[in-house]
Structure 1
């Protein structure tokens, strides 16, 4: 199994410019069928003090893209085709957790559902990401 740090096509020259680093996203678990990551609310708020909906989208796309890329490796790379997010509620503080599970893992596309929850386990966002798996 390919791990996220072994993905083909990653340009290490941009390692310090990764959006996931700026957002404070950390991958906390990866077992091949489920990827889990966290993100702080602090630093990712909109003007009303709530977690920005775009931050949920970044967390979801990060988890889904890494999961798709590990599925596609070593002869293909994953590029996003479509991201859909439904925001159910928001958070004001703490860490949010994204849990990414496959819906479909094929040869040319992969689709994942990502559920973002707050520290009390309340669902904040349900996202669905489809990636195209492009030959290298």
Structure 2
């Protein structure tokens, strides 16, 4: 396993970066950093449900893009580069009505101009809720 981080990363740093953003508003919490992944969780509540009482597909996309794009930022030298989203694709597999979901972002590709990320979202029983692919552009400051 190769360490992917190019900028020093910590739960404090990623949490601070998310303050006063949509992810903060939805209660997304970063919970774990590994050598090749970043994980976050999100509550399923009135802010993240759709009218049928299940997790809103858009909330799933927000969680996936939040954890993937945050990870992407720490895979570049932030003094020289920054990353922005180009594309996200989400396949919804299972509905969630309550509790929390957890997203884990791992890179497929970390290139000089693009990054491609896999983000799996699972429920409290560790069952797959959605699979997501996020493409990021790497831009020079």
Give the Cα separation in 1 of the matches to 2:134 and 2:76.
15
Q: 1:30, CA displacement in angstroms?
A: 1.2
Q: What does 1:7-86 align with in structure 2 at a 5 Å threshold?
A: 15-16=19-20, 18-42=21-45, 43-74=47-78, 75-86=80-91
TM-score by length of 2: 0.86
1:88-118 deviations in whole A, cap 9, x for unaligned? 1110000000011110001111111000010
Q: Is the 8 A contact 1:77 1:134 kept in 2?
A: yes
Give the equivalent residue in structure 2 for 1:2.
Answer: 8
Change (3 A) 1:32 1:135: farther
CA RMSD of aligned residues (A): 1.8
In structure 2, the partner of 1:115 is: 120
Describe the SS at the equivalent of 2:75: helix
Gap regions ≥5 residues in structure 2: 1-6
Matched-pair contact (CA < 8 Å) for 1:115–1:125? yes
Structure 1 gap ranges (5+):
none
Q: Counterparts of 1:110 and 1:73 in 2: how far apart (Å)?
A: 14
